[in-house]
Amino acid sequence: MSQPIRVQINAFDPSGTSSQADLDPVSRSLKRFALTSAGQPPRTVLAPTAAASLTEWQHPDVGWGVVMSSTRTKVPASLAQLIAKRKAHIFRFTPNWERCYTYLRNETLGRDVAIAGSPRGMGPGRLPHYLLIIGPPTEVPWSVQFALGATRAVGRIPLEGAALDNYIQALLTDFKADAADPYSTVTWAVDVNDTDITELMRTFIAAKVQQQLVNDDEIGAARAVFLDGKTEPEAATIARFSKVVTEQRPGLIVTTSHGLTGPLNDVERMKGTLGLPVDQQQTPLDPAALLKTWSPGGAVWYCHACCSAGADRPSAFAALFDEGAELRRILNAIAETGPSVAPLPMQLLGHSRPVRAFIGHVEPTFDWTLRNPGNGQVLTATLVKAIYPNLYQTQPRTPIGQAFRDVYADIGGYLASWENARASYDAGAQNLTDLLAWQLCARDLQSLVILGDPAAALPLRTGAAAPPAPVSAGQILGT
């Protein structure tokens, strides 16, 4: 027989009513409440002022840690070196444990810590703000990254062997051997036609980021290249893109396009091409060909395309469509490749001169997440701001994970809007499209992931204002 669950609230009734209650763990009310969306998750902006800036991952009240599956018993030498240098803690995800999606095990301290609600920082009962997941989503599921990303700056390195060593060695030297210039940028936008989703991505993401870069005094129109498929279709080809990034060695790359999701009837082939950007002439990018002429060299690549970061199984969106519907068939076929990381970021991160980070989506994105279908309002402002100006903030440079924090914070607003819309719907309102819109927006942002170290940052230009002095020895992690 299950033991009752005791709860208590911090209310006081002078007449003597108890503030405690015993709940039956098999009651329908408890199950219904526990399984119902809780609305907006915690947002860091509602917390008390932090003792340190969240850009300072070295500070013990901020912190940096590693998340790995408990099945990964051996820590590679390069990773052990990074952990030792950063005096980091290791947190373990334990598959098949009934509470594996609730707690991580702090292996360093021998204690469990809650994924949601834990104070940030280093030490007992705390969870670092910067978390680097090591391993593919078959070891640490995408859903864990999504959950951690609601309140933390989270990245993933899905590599093994020499590829993993390449990336970690670049981290250990802060990419100093690489030549990517953060003040040189390339924005590449496919625009099939005015009724295609590529037009929305081009107009509301690529063009808006481009305008911000052009207005930057240190970048400007001369160094912010825009390969715009709307104004010059020939510019948005793989050939032009490859030529320009090879010549420019940009520190920032922004691409918007369809992502390759075929052939649907050949899962093994699709695994090798999933999410590759598709150009104006419907030609997919060939990473191997690109890397023959271009060295990523510490660049940051934001790639807004279907499955550009990978796929999951089952698809979070398949249930939206009826059995037999074309989009359901596509989503189900994509899911057969997952849980997985797409081939483009795998090759970029594991290169001898790797990218700092690759930011893309697990699964597709929807047009409704770019522009609200109810009033036509554009919904990409926070995303554009994450790329610019956030990645280019100085004193010190903003880490990539922190640059995108407000994007993930928007998930809470969408979930709260969904809750309100659901209440109205239950009361008789005809607002099903609002429910769908907020649901799609929340899931879309959840599936936007950072591949690479979330604490990595674009470098300052030589001669630019130096960042503040590092924290004192007494503030270094673990001391």
Identify the CA nearest to 62 among candidates 426, 475, 473.
Answer: 475
- Of residues 8 and 305, the one with the higher pLDDT is 305
Query: 405-426 vs 432-446: helix axis angle to the nearest 10?
Result: 160
Residue 52: what pLDDT? Answer: 80
113-119: list long-range contacts, CB under 8 Å, 24+ apart. Answer: 115/144, 115/147, 115/148, 116/41, 116/42, 116/147, 116/150, 116/151, 117/42
User: What DSSP character marks residue 18?
Assistant: -
Residue 3 has pLDDT above 80, yes or no: no
Percent helix, strand, coil in the chain, to 5, is 35, 20, 45
Cα separation, 201 vs 407, in Å, equals 16
Per-residue model confidence as pLDDT tens digits over 91-120: 999 999 999 999 999 999 999 999 999 999
Say which range, 11-15, 159-163, 381-385, 386-390, has the weakest mean pLDDT: 11-15
pLDDT for the residue 37: 66
Half-sphere exposure of 203 toward its Cβ, with a 13 Å CA cutoff?
A: 16
CA dist 354 and 363 (Å) reads 24
Higher pLDDT, 250 or 326: 250
This prediction's pTM: 0.87
pLDDT for 395: 66
Q: How confident is the model at residue 179, as a pLDDT?
A: 76
pLDDT in tens, 358-400: 999 999 989 999 999 889 999 999 999 999 999 998 767 899 9
| Dihedral angle, C-alpha 255, 259, 260, 264, nearest 10 ° | 170
Confidence of residue 133 (pLDDT cuts 50, 70, 90): very high
pLDDT tens digits for range 174-185 = 998 777 999 999
Highest mean pLDDT among 9-13, 221-225, 264-268: 221-225
- Residue 304 three-state SS: strand
Between CA 408 and CA 393 the distance in angstroms is 19
Place of tokens 């934001």: 302
